[in-house]
A = this chain, B = another copy of it.
């Protein structure tokens, strides 16, 4: 907690953090000062000890009978995730999905600042989406390098995803959030997260098939 502030943590726990955070922000708006695991767990409909274990990962420590001091807790969670100082990102693929992400204001509260979109389509280049410029994809590597962009978001079709990923790599991008339904072939040291919709769909379908008929 002191000398290893960012050591490995269970991925499921990390994934749960934003849910806690959302709830905590809502509570802050209500001027709540102290918050217990029990209460949080009840509100999110999960197990209290799970919440406690997760929060413990952030290094914060609470008081018996009272709980955690909300401002500290929020800061601890945000720091744990890495949302304490926002990070700029580029997005490639100004289709509907890309537009949806460019316009999603929630990202600002999630440490992510999409500064520009890119596309090949000449009719899109030069326009703006949600006040963000759509630029020619060919300019990405140079710009990414000069602006020290580390995060790239891929919202193009399956066919072009790998090419876009390569473009991003050549611009020095080190983390890729891939919405295209293809496995990308990247160097080991690149951080890659696939947003795999069909995976979720499979879970639903199977549950339906199993329970239903």
Question: A193: which B residues are within 8 A, CB to CB?
Answer: 200, 203-204
Copy number of this protein in the oligomer?
2
Q: Does A9 contact B (CB under 8 A)?
A: yes
Question: A177: which B residues are within 8 A, CB to CB?
Answer: 200-201, 204
Q: Does A137 contact B (CB under 8 A)?
A: no
Evaluate whether A87 and B201 lie within 8 angstroms (CB atoms) in the complex, with A18-B196, A181-B106 already known: no
Majority SS of interface residues in chain A?
A: helix
Q: Does A210 contact B (CB under 8 A)?
A: yes
Nearest CB in chain B: distance from A146 CB, A? 18
The B-contacting residues of A in range 90-105, CB under 8 angstroms, are 95-97, 99-100, 103
- Chain A to chain B contacts (Cβ below 8 Å), 6 pairs: A8-B210, A15-B202, A17-B202, A43-B183, A83-B202, A175-B208
